[in-house]
């Protein structure tokens, strides 16, 4: 539980790094297991093929040995009768003398199970071995006789080695001498083959273990490199994020101070001066009333008119800060009012067109588009020298779009890497915050601003989102 709780206390970057490493570790582990299993399977297949190949070579050699032995006494066996004891004696002498290597010999059993020839283990001669089995329960004599009766074949069983007396696995080839009812054969011990196969298997397993260790080391090294690169990237991104955050905070503070300064200037230049005029008019009216001057009403009317102007100015400043029409009637009427006031104030001809949104834009989108329109009209008034502007507000299948175009002198685009103006940057950041697109096209024939709000910020009148037309 402590380990799980410690994981949830990790920072977001650390959690992201661990979650990114987990698939890599799982993939490498799976690859290592697959490679190891496939290597073992391939090695086992090759070892089995080697074992079969070596045993087949031994079996072919045994068959050749038996053929040579038959050729050695073929002339005797071919002319002898089934009960020719003299011929049988000569054949047994020949076979008893045919020994090879440390453990090679020929053996003969009659079909009743009696041993006739066993030159390296003479204690077996003239005894009946029917029913004989090896330590694993494999029948020996009876199976050899059965194979000989059927013609010829091979048989595997455990047998004591003449040179050491220790039991070892043996493969024999036996053939039948049917007229004499003899089973003639010879065998070879394959413990050397089994040792070779075991050695080969151990060597391959060792190599596979080395490969697995190498894969583990490479994986560890790769994870270490990923950790280092992730660490340096995280440090770099954190520094960039801190720099951007400081710049953003600076812009926010600058925007706040600029807005405060604008409101202060408007209060000083308009409201304050108007209120001073009202105070002066009231003061003059007061003195005239005390002196019985009949013109006191005139100065009082002037003060009332000035106070009315102050009230209108307060309403204008309040509308600039947060127009109530935006909440009451929606975006289109608010921007139309803004455009009409701009035209009356500047004398610039304006065109306004709009699709009826029925207040379907959410609050963030309405505020963003309204502020962009405010900023754009302010820039046009101050810098464009335009004589005509057009503002359009419409809905498309991709969302809400506002376009503002003028026929002014335009402006030069910032060179790559340069910082855009604060007003344009604020417009772009407002749209990007909503996941929309902000585009500016400007040349000496005019400027066009396009702000698109994504469809996700359009409020549906029905439970399901309706497509804009």
User: Residue 321: its pLDDT value, please?
Assistant: 66
- Tens of pLDDT, residue by residue over 235-253, are 777 788 788 777 767 766 6
Helix ranges restricted to H, 134-176: 141-150
Residue 104 vs residue 283, higher pLDDT: 104
CB half-sphere exposure, 159, CA atoms < 13 A: 24
In this model, does residue 112 exceed pLDDT 90?
Answer: yes
DSSP run (H or E) holding 201: helix 191-266
Cα–Cα distances (Å) from 427 to 326, 342, 374, 436, 447, in that order, read: 18, 19, 10, 11, 15
The mean pLDDT of the chain is 80
Asked if 197 contacts 47 with a C-beta cutoff of 8 angstroms, the reply is: yes
CA–CA separation, 418 vs 420, rounded Å? 6
- Tens of pLDDT, residue by residue over 172-194, are 999 999 999 999 999 988 888 77
Instruction: Indicate if the alpha-carbon torsion angle 264, 268, 274, 275 is positive or negative.
Output: positive
* CATH numbers and ranges of domains, the chain: 82-189 (3.30.450.20), 323-457 (3.30.565.10)
Paired strand residues for 240: none
In this model, does residue 462 exceed pLDDT 50?
Answer: no
Cα–Cα distances (Å) from 387 to 32, 87, 333, 383, in that order, read: 74, 137, 23, 12
Q: Percent helix, strand and coil across the chain, each rounded to 5?
A: 60, 20, 20
Paired strand residues for 115: 109
DSSP run (H or E) holding 159: strand 152-160
Q: What is the DSSP string of 301-357?
A: HHHHHHHHHHHHHHHHHHHHHS-HHHHHT-HHHHHHHHHHHHHHHH--EEEEEE---
pLDDT tier, 409 (very low <50, low <70, confident <90, very high otherwise): confident
CA–CA separation, 20 vs 26, rounded Å? 11
Residue 120 vs residue 276, higher pLDDT: 120
Structure tokens at 328: 């009451």
- Tens of pLDDT, residue by residue over 424-454, are 777 888 888 888 889 988 888 889 999 988 8
CA–CA separation, 192 vs 347, rounded Å? 111
- Tens of pLDDT, residue by residue over 322-364, are 667 777 777 888 888 888 888 888 888 999 988 765 556 788 8
User: Residue 269: its pLDDT value, please?
Assistant: 65
In this model, does residue 113 exceed pLDDT 90?
Answer: yes
Q: Which of 161, 144, 179 is nearest to 70 (CA)?
A: 179
User: Residue 420: its pLDDT value, please?
Assistant: 46
Among 53-67, 347-361, 416-430, name the most confident range: 53-67
| pTM for this prediction | 0.44
- Strands 388-396, 399-406: pairing is antiparallel
Cα–Cα distances (Å) from 329 to 204, 334, 335, 336, 341, in that order, read: 83, 7, 11, 11, 17
Angle between helices 331-346 and 363-379 (to 10 degrees): 10
Q: Nearest 10 degrees: CA dihedral of 336, 382, 451, 447?
A: 110
pLDDT tier, 464 (very low <50, low <70, confident <90, very high otherwise): very low
CA–CA separation, 196 vs 405, rounded Å? 90
Residues 6+ apart with CB under 8 A from 441: 447, 448, 450
Asked if 177 contacts 103 with a C-beta cutoff of 8 angstroms, the reply is: no
- Strands 349-354, 388-396: pairing is parallel
CA–CA separation, 408 vs 277, rounded Å? 38
Asked if 62 contacts 188 with a C-beta cutoff of 8 angstroms, the reply is: yes
User: Residue 322: its pLDDT value, please?
Assistant: 64
Q: What is the mean pLDDT of residues 20-37?
A: 77
pLDDT tier, 419 (very low <50, low <70, confident <90, very high otherwise): very low
Angle between helices 363-379 and 422-433 (to 10 degrees): 160
Asked if 108 contacts 186 with a C-beta cutoff of 8 angstroms, the reply is: no
pLDDT tier, 156 (very low <50, low <70, confident <90, very high otherwise): very high
Phi and psi, residue 160, nearest 5°: -65, 135
pLDDT tier, 306 (very low <50, low <70, confident <90, very high otherwise): confident
CA–CA separation, 258 vs 253, rounded Å? 8
Helix ranges restricted to H, 73-153: 74-79, 85-97, 141-150
- Tens of pLDDT, residue by residue over 193-225, are 778 878 887 887 788 778 778 877 887 787 778
Cα–Cα distances (Å) from 181 to 61, 67, 114, 136, in that order, read: 24, 18, 11, 28
Structure tokens at 305: 């008119």
User: Residue 358: its pLDDT value, please?
Assistant: 52
Q: What is the mean pLDDT of residues 361-382?
A: 85
CA–CA separation, 195 vs 372, rounded Å? 87
In the sheet with 388-396, reading across from the earlier edge strand, the strands are: 349-354, 388-396, 399-406, 446-454, 437-443
pLDDT tier, 11 (very low <50, low <70, confident <90, very high otherwise): low
CA–CA separation, 6 vs 180, rounded Å? 89
Residues 6+ apart with CB under 8 A from 297: 285
pLDDT tier, 259 (very low <50, low <70, confident <90, very high otherwise): low
Place of tokens 């009082």: 300
CA–CA separation, 127 vs 113, rounded Å? 8
User: Residue 307: its pLDDT value, please?
Assistant: 78
In this model, does residue 37 exceed pLDDT 70?
Answer: yes
């Amino acid at each position: 539980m402590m380990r799980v709780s410690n994981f949830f206390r990790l920072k977001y970057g650390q959690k992201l790094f661990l979650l990114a490493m987990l698939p890599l570790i799982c993939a490498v582990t799976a690859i290592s297991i697959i490679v190891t299993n496939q290597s073992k399977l391939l090695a086992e297949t090759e070892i089995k093929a080697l074992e079969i190949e070596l045993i087949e070579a031994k079996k072919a050699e045994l068959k050749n040995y038996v053929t040579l032995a038959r050729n050695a006494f073929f002339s005797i066996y071919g002319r002898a009768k089934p009960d020719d004891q003299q011929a049988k004696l000569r054949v047994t002498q020949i076979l008893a003398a045919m020994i090879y290597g440390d453990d090679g010999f020929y053996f003969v059993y009659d079909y009743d199970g009696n041993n006739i020839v066993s030159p390296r283990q003479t204690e077996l001669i003239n005894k009946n071995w029917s029913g004989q089995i090896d330590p694993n329960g494999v029948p020996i004599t009876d199976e050899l006789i059965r194979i000989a009766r059927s013609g010829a074949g091979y048989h595997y069983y455990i047998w004591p080695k003449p040179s050491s007396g220790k039991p070892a696995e043996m493969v024999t080839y036996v053939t039948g001498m049917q007229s004499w009812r003899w089973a003639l054969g010879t065998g070879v011990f394959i413990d050397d083959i089994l040792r070779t196969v075991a050695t080969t298997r151990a060597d391959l397993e060792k190599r596979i273990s080395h490969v697995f260790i190498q894969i583990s080391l490479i994986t560890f090294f790769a994870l270490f490199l990923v950790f280092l690169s992730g660490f340096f990237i995280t440090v770099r991104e954190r520094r960039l994020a801190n720099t951007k955050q400081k710049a953003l905070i600076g812009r926010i503070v600058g925007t706040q101070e600029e807005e405060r300064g604008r409101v202060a200037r408007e209060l000083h230049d308009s409201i304050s001066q108007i209120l001073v005029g009202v105070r002066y008019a009231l003061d003059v009216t007061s003195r005239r009333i005390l002196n019985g001057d009949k013109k006191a009403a005139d100065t009082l009317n002037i003060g009332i008119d000035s106070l009315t102007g102050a009230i209108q100015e307060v309403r204008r400043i309040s509308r600039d800060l947060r127009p109530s029409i935006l909440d009451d009637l929606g975006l289109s009427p608010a921007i139309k009012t803004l455009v009409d006031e701009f035209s009356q104030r500047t004398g610039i001809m304006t065109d306004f067109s709009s699709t009826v949104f029925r207040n379907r834009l959410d609050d963030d989108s309405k505020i963003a588009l309204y502020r962009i329109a405010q900023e754009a009209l302010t820039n046009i008034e101050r810098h464009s020298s335009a004589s005509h502007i057009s503002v359009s507000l419409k809905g498309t299948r991709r969302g809400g779009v506002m376009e503002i175009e003028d026929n002014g002198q335009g402006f030069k685009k910032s060179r790559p890497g340069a910082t855009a103006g604060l007003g344009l940057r604020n417009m772009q950041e407002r749209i990007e915050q909503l996941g929309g697109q902000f585009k500016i096209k400007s040349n000496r024939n005019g400027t066009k601003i396009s702000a698109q709000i994504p469809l996700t910020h359009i409020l549906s009148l029905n439970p399901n989102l309706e497509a804009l037309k």
